[in-house]
Chains A and B, each alone.
Chain A
Amino acid sequence: MKSSTRLRLNAPKVIHEILDGEAVIIDFDTGNYYSLDEIGTEVWGLIERSATVGDIRDGICTRYDGPRKEIERAVDEFVAELQRENLVVRSLAEETEGVAGTETPAQGEPVSERLAFEPPVLYKYDDMQELLLLDPIHEVDETGWPTVGPEGTVVDE
């Protein structure tokens, strides 16, 4: 993944809240919801603040103690996982360096003591998917309103 790649949260289909260092994320398209551990939440926050992939790598390396290559690889894998789940998408401004608001927040914060790095984790829950499943058995009656048909799905002529 290129350092200049810029991502954004896939709003409005994805919404989130962060509580006590844990992000809770809901995807309206799939009905899946997610939570992130502390480092994952930090990465999420950086994406929300328009950081590039390079900024995210630097920010996490600054705040956590560990071999740089290992941290960068774990961050890249995590970001790729977020993309595979369609929670984040590439920003149109991804290749534009130095636009307003690209300062890496994590880099600007003082680091008194670096914590041991652990690969960020995305927890996925799919037990709500059924809530978004469309009832497939419908047709339209003579008044023009859908009705539950005796068989099959909505069928056109």
Chain B
Amino acid sequence: MSRERRYPLAHGPYSASPDNADPAAFFETAHYAYWQAEEEAGGAVDRFYSVGGLVLRLRFAGQALVPLITPALEHLAVEPTEAAAFTVHLWDSVSSGTTMPAPPWSLEDYGARGEVRGYNDERFHTVFHLGSCTLKMLDARRNVGLFWIRDARDVPFYESSAPLQAILHRWMSIKGHQLLHAAAVGTATGGVLLAGRGGSGKTSTALTCVSSELLYAGDDYVLLSDESVPFVYSLYNSAKLDPENLHRFPHLTAAVVNSERLDAEKAVIFLHQHWPDKVSTGFPVRAIAAVRIAGAPSTKISAAPSATALKALAPSTVLQLSGGGRRDLRQIARLVKRVPCYALDLGTDPGEIAKTISTLLSELQGSDGASWLGSSGDGYLDGSRQMQSEPIARGAG
């Protein structure tokens, strides 16, 4: 990589302050670059998916990005249709032999979550993720998105396992759906959202459930529809597992797609490729469980205040997602008020984790969560002690 530094952005004629930013003009410029790339690549490759009940069309300029973007969505594939609700154009410069016009903003305009200052408004959403060096733009009025990366070979594992997250978040929110940082497992009649920050045990729990009667709808991001009964749609069939936890799932080892890079990446598994019957496209949300690795042998679950679920779901969702904000927090608060909330202390026996969740769902099928836990006398499944949520740091009071 060249160490030569050129800054046409910050100091050159292309530099633009947020005051005179023109997102519509740059969207057109970038969109034109896609058409050029498609022509140079020899045509478009189309894929169609049902996402949150809406048809998403991915239109690739050539084949280069197809195997890097589509595996995580493959369980949602549908037949081609002219009636796509949302079309995303995807290309890379290297395989198409084209050049992306320079951005009109400066280095100082990149926000912490990738939002480009001055290029986000009611109509346009513009994100450049510095980690993956990918540009994502959305024109909400025309229902068109753009995804560009310099070289398809540089698509990072986290983009492959959860592609197009930023523009899906924004576009789906316009359609009334909420992207949630949560795992989801369940059956066709109902399931549980597993909430918690990275490393809290969501992925391990979801993968453990794959070996049970429960189905897998996601380990990291899912889509919530605020219907009469909240409904969670699967978004990605991928699982991202810390390599040090891989030994707990020996039956998954052969399915890891990036086993040669586990020194720097999480182990990525596309469940639909190997266990399509274990991947669900969605189910009604019967409960929310704030998960925590407890370290004890047995798994415990207990009723929890809705604020506990809000703390487990909201900060990681709104802080991670570009464009996340007050609307997301309000949506999540509305969800946790409507669905029974629990604290799930994960034990070391994986079989017991799935069994505990299955038991919870069985009990919830015919009654509401409060009456079930109330009937056990102390309010705790298996008679466990209630989990105390300890703050990481406690301010003076």
Measured CB to CB, the residues of A under 8 A from B are 12, 15-17, 19-20, 22, 24, 26, 28, 31, 33-35, 37, 40, 74, 77-78, 81, 85, 119-128, 131-135, 138-150, 154-157
> Is B305 interfacial (CB 8 A cutoff)?
yes
Total contacts A-B at CB 8 Å: 157
Cβ-defined contact, A123 with B395, below 8 A: yes
A to B CB contacts below 8 Å, 29 in the list: A15-B318, A15-B329, A17-B310, A17-B314, A19-B307, A19-B336, A24-B310, A26-B319, A26-B329, A28-B318, A33-B319, A81-B396, A81-B397, A121-B394, A122-B396, A127-B197, A131-B113, A131-B316, A141-B1, A141-B6, A142-B2, A142-B4, A143-B100, A144-B9, A144-B14, A145-B128, A146-B110, A146-B130, A154-B107
Docked CA distance A143–B315 (Å): 36
When distances are taken between beta carbons in the complex, the residues of chain B under 8 Å from A156 are 5, 7, 10
Docked CA distance A144–B7 (Å): 7
When distances are taken between beta carbons in the complex, the residues of chain A under 8 Å from B131 are 135, 148
Cβ-defined contact, A127 with B319, below 8 A: no
Cβ-defined contact, A125 with B315, below 8 A: yes
When distances are taken between beta carbons in the complex, the residues of chain A under 8 Å from B2 are 141-142
Q: Within B307-336, which residues are at the interface with A (CB < 8 Å)? A: 307, 310-311, 314-316, 318-320, 325-326, 329-330, 332-333, 336
Docked CA distance A134–B113 (Å): 8
Cβ-defined contact, A19 with B396, below 8 A: no
Docked CA distance A139–B7 (Å): 9
Residue of B nearest to A142 (CB): B6
Cβ-defined contact, A17 with B333, below 8 A: yes
**Count of B residues near A, CB < 8 Å?**
53
Contact of A148 among B133, B329, B332, B394 (CB under 8 A): B133
Closest 4 CB pairs of A and B: A144-B102, A121-B397, A122-B395, A123-B391
**Nearest CB on B from A25, distance (A):** 10
Cβ-defined contact, A143 with B319, below 8 A: no
Cβ-defined contact, B319 with A20, below 8 A: no
Given contact pairs A35-B391, A121-B397, a sample of 15 additional A-B residue pairs in the complex whose CB atoms are under 8 Å apart: A12-B325, A15-B318, A19-B307, A19-B337, A24-B314, A77-B396, A122-B395, A123-B395, A133-B112, A138-B107, A141-B6, A143-B100, A145-B100, A146-B128, A148-B131
Contact of A33 among B5, B10, B113, B311 (CB under 8 A): B311
When distances are taken between beta carbons in the complex, the residues of chain B under 8 Å from A31 are 319
